Amino acid sequence: MRRDPVRARFIRPDREARNAHAQATVARREAEELRALLPEEAAVLIEAKRAAAEEARQLAADRARRLRGAINREPSSTQSRRDDPGLGL
């Protein structure tokens, strides 16, 4: 099996271990929080967290789409800036 030079260059086992440990800590904390609630309250909290995560994902996707659009609208290096409409005074 051949080594992947790009992956070998960018892999960081210590960082990956820290990230995994942090994710496990958050998951344990959330599990303890849910265990302390009544089932109905836990269900409401889970749905609220899912909705918040979905909204954050959608906002990130919208922002990425706007950034891609802004990059595509930038004038090319051959186009003169004097030809741009500008802000006007």
In a domain, 3, yes or no: no
Site of tokens 């080594």: 3
User: What pLDDT was estimated at residue 77?
Assistant: 54
Number of domains composing the chain: 1
The number of residues making up the chain comes to 89
User: What pLDDT was estimated at residue 18?
Assistant: 95
Report whether 45 contacts 34 (CB < 8 A).
yes
Residue 16 domain boundaries = 12-71
pLDDT tens string for the chain (89 positions)?
566 777 667 778 889 999 999 999 999 999 999 999 999 999 999 999 999 999 999 999 999 999 888 777 665 555 555 565 665 55
In a domain, 85, yes or no: no
User: What pLDDT was estimated at residue 63?
Assistant: 93
Q: How far apart are CA 20 and CA 28, in angstroms?
A: 12
In a domain, 21, yes or no: yes
User: What pLDDT was estimated at residue 82?
Assistant: 58
In a domain, 23, yes or no: yes
In a domain, 66, yes or no: yes
Both tokens assigned to 2: 């051949």
In a domain, 16, yes or no: yes
Nearest C-alpha neighbor of 45 from the set 29, 30, 57: 30
